[in-house]
């Protein structure tokens, strides 16, 4: 009887110890302790690069040295400096720990495959000026429960991430892309360490939304990223995204340098070593506060510093790189929401202001053609046309071009998200920008209706399939009932995701074809609008 009681006690004790034991991983970075949460093992705030302070500000990231002691990955690190409420909500005021860190969500059970679990590396959006990988919206638990390791991360934003300087260009061979270099460093960290977390470094999908999709598409065009990921998901964004990034290098880089110079002038410094040293002595949040996305469409003005098309980290012409096939071979899933432009468009815009804005943003020949595409008439108000214009210029034109050119060599799948969430922005914005995110991650609100849950199941399932196999129709064991065809220039079709899932012709094809011809096939005499200074 004593033996039986002791056996029961030992069994109960072993269960308790297993339930409370912290998951430990020993990798090239060192020993990392996480925690378990509802069938998922979580590791938070792992630094992949040294803290970007002192000489490491406005410079390429430095690989994080190995941990000397066990690292407790039980809390998020500070957010990157930025001008938003995220600073206080997510610990951005404390820089004793690096903001350049990543978070891992993995299944609690070991992988069945000897190769390990497929890996999703998620890049947050926020116009390159705000955001963090620690948002609850990006909790990767739903993916992990379906056999996918999720990695979310921070990268430098605003002035800290994209300050452009001719002095830096001479010193480092590049400038204005410190945030992109952070992401590249994080991808290298994944290649070196993820196998010890049970992940497959040869089955990595890089994904992002909005500016995160800009960055993911940048890695498709970056030779240094070749082999670091095999698939990409671009949700509402690519590098061809005006005005976040100029369509041509000269206009874009003039703005990047001019707005950097404006920032330097505020603190009375020059583009020199001593000037940059002074900027490095200034609080990072204060600098980022001066560089929010404050774009004035009508007058074509902003203090926003775009990424620099330097020909090193980013191609001088992303369009030409796509046209000539100078990109990494990865399968791509990409798409858009029905009403992408509503969040960026003012309902108060007047007819004359809309037309005037076209001319301040583009040379006359282009602006006049845009007036025809977005003609205001009895059926279309200035606001409706403004929404269409912003949707196309910011998101869908670049999406279509990437889909066309990448599909010449790689598998491409196009989606159209068309579901209005009752818990989202409200019906006045329609199926707005970022409205799909909660469905992708299956992080719905507790009071979500059954229809929302059904949509989330479908969207997440398609993403999981693509992450696992490169085919959204197949998870490695079974196929979906509706086959999502490849997108090609001869067959431009999309999977419409909403209350019902259907295959549809790409509805924006004709308008976007006209736009591509207007913007990227203009004559040589069309000079850029901005003529502030020369660019090396």
| pLDDT at 523 (0 to 100) | 36
The answer as to whether 27 is a domain residue is yes
- State residue 13's pLDDT score: 39
| Beta-strand relationship, 71-72 and 30-33 | parallel
Q: Is residue 338 part of a domain?
A: yes
Binning the chain into helix, strand and coil, the percentages to the nearest 5 are 40, 15, 45
Out of 340, 388, 436, 452, pick the active-site residue.
340
Per-residue pLDDT, 259:
96
The total of structural domains in the chain comes to 1
pLDDT on residue 85: 60
Catalytic-role residue among 98, 141, 210, 424: 210
Which H or E run contains 30?
strand 30-33
CA angle 185, 414, 181 (to 5 degrees): 10
Q: Is residue 60 part of a domain?
A: yes
CATH number at residue 280: 3.40.50.1820
Average pLDDT of the chain is: 91
Helix (H) or strand (E) holding 161: helix 158-162
For residue 128, being part of any structural domain is answered with yes
Helix runs in 392-429, H state only: 397-406
* 453 falls within a domain: yes
Tell me the sheet residues that pair with 152. 103, 122
530 is catalytic: no
CB of 118 closer than 8 Å to CB of 203: yes
Asked if the structure places residue 378 within a domain, the reply is: no
- Residue 303: active-site member: no
pLDDT number for residue 98: 87
Determine, yes or no, domain membership for 501.
yes
User: Which residue in this structure is represented by tokens 């086959």?
Assistant: 483
Range of the domain at 233: 2-346+395-520
Please write the tens of the pLDDT for every residue from 113-137: 889 999 999 999 999 999 999 999 9
pLDDT bin (cut points 50, 70, 90) of residue 111 is: confident
Q: Is position 531 within any domain? A: no
């Amino acid at each position: 009887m004593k033996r039986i009681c002791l056996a029961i006690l030992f069994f109960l004790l072993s269960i308790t110890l297993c339930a409370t034991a912290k998951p430990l991983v020993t990798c090239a970075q060192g020993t990392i302790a996480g925690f378990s949460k509802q069938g998922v093992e979580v590791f938070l705030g792992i630094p992949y690069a040294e803290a970007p302070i002192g000489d490491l500000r406005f410079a390429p990231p430095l690989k994080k040295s190995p941990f000397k002691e066990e690292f407790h990955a039980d809390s998020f690190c500070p957010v990157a400096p930025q001008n938003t409420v995220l600073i206080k909500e997510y610990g951005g005021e404390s820089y004793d720990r690096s903001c350049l860190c990543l978070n891992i969500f993995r299944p609690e059970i070991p992988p069945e495959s000897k190769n390990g679990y497929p890996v999703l590396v998620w890049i947050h959006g926020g116009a390159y000026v705000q955001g963090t990988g620690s948002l609850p919206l990006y909790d990767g638990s739903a993916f992990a429960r379906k056999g996918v390791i999720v990695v979310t991360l921070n990268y430098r934003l605003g002035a800290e991430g994209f300050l452009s300087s001719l002095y830096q260009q001479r010193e480092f061979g590049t400038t204005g892309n410190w945030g992109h270099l952070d992401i590249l460093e994080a991808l290298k960290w994944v290649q070196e360490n993820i196998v010890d977390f049970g992940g497959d470094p040869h089955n990595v999908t890089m994904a992002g939304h909005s500016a995160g999709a800009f960055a993911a598409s940048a890695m498709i065009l970056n030779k240094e990223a070749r082999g670091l990921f095999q698939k990409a998901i671009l949700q509402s964004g690519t590098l061809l995204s005006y005005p976040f990034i100029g369509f041509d290098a000269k206009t874009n880089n003039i703005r990047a340098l001019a707005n950097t110079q404006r920032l330097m002038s505020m603190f009375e410094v020059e583009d020199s070593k001593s000037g940059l040293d002074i900027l490095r002595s200034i609080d990072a949040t204060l600098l980022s506060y001066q560089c929010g996305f404050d774009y004035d469409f009508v007058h074509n003005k902003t203090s926003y510093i775009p990424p620099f098309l330097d020909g090193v980290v980013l191609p001088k012409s992303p369009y030409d790189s796509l046209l000539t096939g100078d990109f990494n071979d990865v399968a791509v899933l990409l798409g858009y929401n029905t009403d992408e432009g509503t969040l960026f468009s003012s309902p108060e815009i007047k007819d004359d202001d809309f037309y005037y804005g076209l001319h301040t943003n583009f040379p006359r020949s282009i602006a006049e053609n845009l007036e025809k595409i977005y003609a205001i008439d009895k059926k279309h108000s200035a606001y409706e046309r403004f929404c269409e214009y912003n949707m196309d210029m910011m998101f869908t034109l670049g999406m279509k071009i990437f889909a066309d050119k990448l599909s010449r060599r790689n598998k491409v799948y196009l989606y159209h998200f068309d579901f209005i969430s009752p818990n989202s922005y409200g019906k006045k914005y329609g199926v707005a920008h970022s409205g799909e995110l909660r469905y992708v991650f299956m992080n719905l609100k507790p009071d979500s209706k059954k229809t929302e849950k059904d949509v989330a199941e479908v969207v997440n399932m398609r993403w999981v399939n693509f992450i696992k196999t490169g085919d959204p129709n197949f998870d490695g064991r079974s196929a979906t009932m509706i086959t999502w065809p490849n997108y090609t220039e001869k067959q431009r079709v999309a999977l419409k995701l909403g209350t019902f899932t259907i295959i549809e012709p790409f509805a924006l094809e004709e308008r976007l074809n006209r736009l591509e011809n207007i913007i990227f096939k203009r004559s040589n005499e069309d000079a850029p609008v901005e003529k502030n200074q020369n660019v090396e």
